[in-house]
């Protein structure tokens, strides 16, 4: 969130139009979301692995 605010502020200081600012912020948000998804795909969080219950062992009986 802070990065979006800082980027918008920098674009306004550079006198970028409102429409261009909106497009740039939208593109940056979409790109960041896609990168986050690709980097996190296939990885599970360590606490999810630690709390996974082991399969019960069968007892001969």
Task: Indicate the pLDDT class of residue 60, thresholds 50, 70 and 90.
Answer: confident
pTM of the model: 0.62
Evaluate whether 24 touches 7 at the Cβ level (below 8 Å): yes
CB neighbours of residue 29 within 10 Å: 13
CA-to-CA dists, residue 46 to 33, 37, 56, angstroms: 22, 17, 22
Evaluate whether 3 touches 24 at the Cβ level (below 8 Å): no
Q: What confidence tens digit (pLDDT) does each residue in 14-27 have?
A: 999 999 999 999 99
Residue 22: predicted pLDDT: 97
Environment class of 16 (CB within 10 Å of its CB; exposed 0-12, middle 13-18, buried 19+): middle
Mean pLDDT for all residues in the chain:
85
């Amino acid at each position: 969130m802070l990065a979006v605010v800082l980027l918008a502020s920098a674009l306004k200081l550079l006198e970028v139009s409102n429409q261009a600012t909106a497009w740039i912020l939208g593109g940056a948000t979409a790109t960041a979301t896609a990168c986050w998804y690709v980097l996190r795909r296939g990885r599970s969080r360590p606490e999810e692995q630690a709390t996974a219950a082991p399969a019960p062992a069968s007892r001969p009986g």
